[in-house]
């Protein structure tokens, strides 16, 4: 099946349907991303991200002694403002610089997720979705 670009349909459908078709066109073109890196820390690791076009956010959580904007406290606890506007389904560790386990310690809300790290001296990048 040949993918017809959505702009060819522009004159034939309503603006609402056009936005939907453009969204489908992006997905079919393989342009789905979790987030776009916008900055690196002093070690060269991506630590800031703009929102991608998926329904989650990437967040770098630094070791408790790091210079990252978001970091574990000395006990490995963190209440994270995720900005999803809905209760997240969960999270995944997508990068880490040591052995660590991260788990949820409370039911997440539409604004926050509360996490605990087995190693507060480990940096991780989380995808909250």
Each of the 129 residues of the chain gets a pLDDT tens digit; together they read: 555 565 665 567 788 888 888 777 776 776 777 778 889 998 889 988 887 777 899 999 999 899 999 999 999 999 999 999 999 999 999 999 999 999 999 999 999 999 999 999 999 999 999
Asked if 113 and 91 touch (Cβ cutoff 8 Å), the reply is: yes
Asked if 68 and 60 touch (Cβ cutoff 8 Å), the reply is: yes
What pLDDT is stored for residue 28 in this prediction? Answer: 72
Sign, CA torsion 11/16/22/28: negative
Closest CA to 26 of 54, 45, 50: 54
d(CA 44, CA 65): 17
What pLDDT is stored for residue 18 in this prediction? Answer: 81
What pLDDT is stored for residue 48 in this prediction? Answer: 87
- How many other CB atoms are found less than 10 A from the CB of residue 65? 11
């Amino acid at each position: 099946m040949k993918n017809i670009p959505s702009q060819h349909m522009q004159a034939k459908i309503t603006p609402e349907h056009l936005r939907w078709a453009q969204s489908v066109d992006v997905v079919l073109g393989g342009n789905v991303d979790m987030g776009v890196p916008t900055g690196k820390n002093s070690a060269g690791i991506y630590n800031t991200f703009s929102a991608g076009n998926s329904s989650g956010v990437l967040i770098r959580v630094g070791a408790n002694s790091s210079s990252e904007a978001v970091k574990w406290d000395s006990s490995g606890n963190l209440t994270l403002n995720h900005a999803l506007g809905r209760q997240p389904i969960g999270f995944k560790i997508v990068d880490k610089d040591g052995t660590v386990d991260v788990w949820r310690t409370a039911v997440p809300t539409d604004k926050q997720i509360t996490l605990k790290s087995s190693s507060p001296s480990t940096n991780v990048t989380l995808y909250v979705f």
